[in-house]
A and B are shown apart, each in its own frame.
Chain A
């Protein structure tokens, strides 16, 4: 394998072959790819097609840090490069922002006296405003963390910037922040991006490269041309290309689903009055007066850290609560310790893996069905697997599913015959377009079958098109908006 540094082409590979150990098929078979100096390239493709792997090969992370069997006729590695990863929580080894930036400078053997001004400058370059550079990273929002990751990478003075889905785990605000920082700081650099949420960068990149399921480049060219000519593929791969919502809303299947949509009923499912949820002894969430009707789909929006998740935990009695709280007309027993779960309610957390308790999909769906005869439980599980498009091999371990399947399974596990109210914490977060629409359609189907839904989300499109009613949470206070519909929600957010 020949490794070269070339002035013209800062990163590239010729006839790359690579495979993951234990798998039969190659990830790439004779793939060639290169970039021009200063070019901004966006790699698109279905999840699992090897885009991220390619970034790691082009930067040298594979095979220098991660050893994989690979060969290539020629590889051009950039002389200096920076890499921003997807997960804001696994990019730092230090506790404070300045220490993390200094870690990079230490690696580069920059003398101590020159560090402080460089740190300040790096923070300025990504527009990260902190009271002091010695701020704890744990207290930052996810968007700020990604900016810090970018700042630390800029200290390497990279020729080439590799971005591996830097906004996948960010809310809309964070997404906007990180891309504006990237555009500002990387204007003169070569940038190679892997990303599914491409609204904000579609017209910034020079070239789009489209991959197929088996790691073959099926098209490349200027973004406008690709978006026009390959819509079918983009849709199939679940990419959030510009206008994906608009097209979805015009689909016949969506229209027929929403045509004569069953409105929420009139009977009360949940009633809250002067309801307070505590963490320790501190009140963290308060609802003065709120009602949920049967068949409601309530979206709960609000900024990070305002108490949306706390509200769900309080309703589920996983936190101590006070005040009037009725489910199906019956007061919920609110105790200080050993709180029983309210009947009929179930909660789906964000991380699916932390909710799985068994070694197979089928068991996962039957384990909570205490007291149901076995054959009946198996039938019930089969129905759910069908409803949520889960793979037929019921014996598969839940960890072996794809991210979208894991998420759908975690929603399915919350459904027992007694469940008629489901609480969901950002069920579509970090999902591609296809999975998002799939989850929303399943939820709508459940709703028509009589399940009431309360769902935390940041996605205003979901709020507008699926919610029957909108709650917003600000500073630990729940504001209800019984008039319903997205328009009001938009106004609240404006």
Chain B
């Protein structure tokens, strides 16, 4: 599965320090979240879309595939507000559905916001390597190493857990376990899967923690880094580009 996340080409975004990229993108998302201006939201979505489609370095096919969830989140958030939102200038009404000028605007505002979130989030995830991201967080932003390594170690555990889930599913089938219908069945399933998987995961996590300490890992101790991350010229370029994007969107919206 991880093989899927190898880009076709490494764009300039890949050279940006991943920790800096995280902070800048996080700031962009905050702006998106608190903005109430409709044209500004649309222009942001347009620019972040350009970032995603032009500079993530992935093939058209993969980008198209990733666009499906984006489209769904856009449609679902926009349509609900358009059809059921408040508004006085009613354009069309049918039973519960009431479309007004205001509701259309609110719907499209919300839709653009969710698109922006999707574009920025995907662009970030597609252009970083998780391990390097946490190394950069430790080196550039002084994230305590215990958090960084717990995240990194948990990546290793994902395949083990999915495999166990598969075995559990097969085992339940072989044991001929039949679940009730409806809500009760959901509860039974939850219990049948979570208990053994949790027991196994907790045990595994504890063993890994002991093994890490046996390798002389000490919380809070000074350490060197196998992957050294630092700022480069590309980071300046990145910050300037992002400021320009926001400034352009603002001027297009308000002037």
A residues neighboring B (CB under 8 Å): 59, 61, 64-66, 82-83, 85, 87, 89-95, 98-99, 102-112, 115, 137-138, 152-153, 156, 313, 316, 318, 341, 346-347, 349, 351, 353-357, 367-368, 370, 399, 413-414
| A65/B210 contact (C-beta < 8 A), A93-B153, A313-B170, A354-B196 known | yes
- In chain B, positions 172-217 with a C-beta closer than 8 Å to chain A are 172-178, 192, 196, 199-200, 204, 207-217
- CB atoms of B174 and A91 under 8 A apart: no
Give the residues in chain B near A156, CB-CB below 8 Å.
215-216
**Which 9 residue pairs of A and B lie closest in terms of their CB atoms, listed nearest first?**
A102-B226, A90-B207, A93-B153, A83-B214, A65-B213, A91-B211, A355-B171, A107-B216, A106-B223
Q: State the Cβ distance, B110 to closest chain A Cβ, in Å.
A: 38
- The minimal Cβ–Cβ distance linking B200 to chain A, given in whole angstroms, is 7
> For residue B159, which residue of chain A has the nearest CB?
A138
Number of interface residues of B (CB under 8 A): 44
Specify which chain A residues have a CB less than 8 angstroms from the CB of B246 in the assembled complex. none
A-B Cβ contacts below 8 A, count: 133
CB-nearest residue of chain B to A319 = B170
CA distance A83 to B167 in the complex (A): 30
Quick check: is B152 within 8 A (CB to CB) of the other chain? yes
Residues on B close to A: CB < 8 A? 131, 149, 152-153, 155-156, 159-160, 164, 167-168, 170-178, 192, 196, 199-200, 204, 207-218, 221-226, 228
A336, chain B: closest CB distance, angstroms: 16
Give me 29 A-to-B residue pairs in the complex whose CB atoms sit less than 8 angstroms apart, sorted by A's number.
A61-B214, A64-B213, A65-B210, A65-B213, A65-B214, A92-B156, A93-B152, A93-B212, A95-B131, A99-B131, A103-B149, A103-B212, A104-B215, A104-B216, A106-B225, A106-B226, A107-B216, A109-B223, A112-B224, A112-B225, A138-B159, A153-B214, A156-B215, A341-B174, A346-B174, A351-B164, A354-B200, A367-B175, A368-B176
When the two chains form the complex, which single residue of B152, B170, B217 contacts A349, counting CB atoms closer than 8 Å?
B170
Docked CA distance A347–B210 (Å): 34
Q: Pick the contact of B171 from A98, A105, A138, A354 — CB < 8 Å?
A: A354
CA distance A93 to B213 in the complex (A): 11
Closest Cβ of chain A: how far from B135's Cβ, in Å?
10
Q: Chain A residues near B196: list those with CB within 8 A.
A: 353-354, 356
**A126 to B: closest C-beta gap in Å:** 15
CA distance in complex: A313, B204 (Å): 26
A110 to B215: give the CA distance in the assembly, Å.
Answer: 14
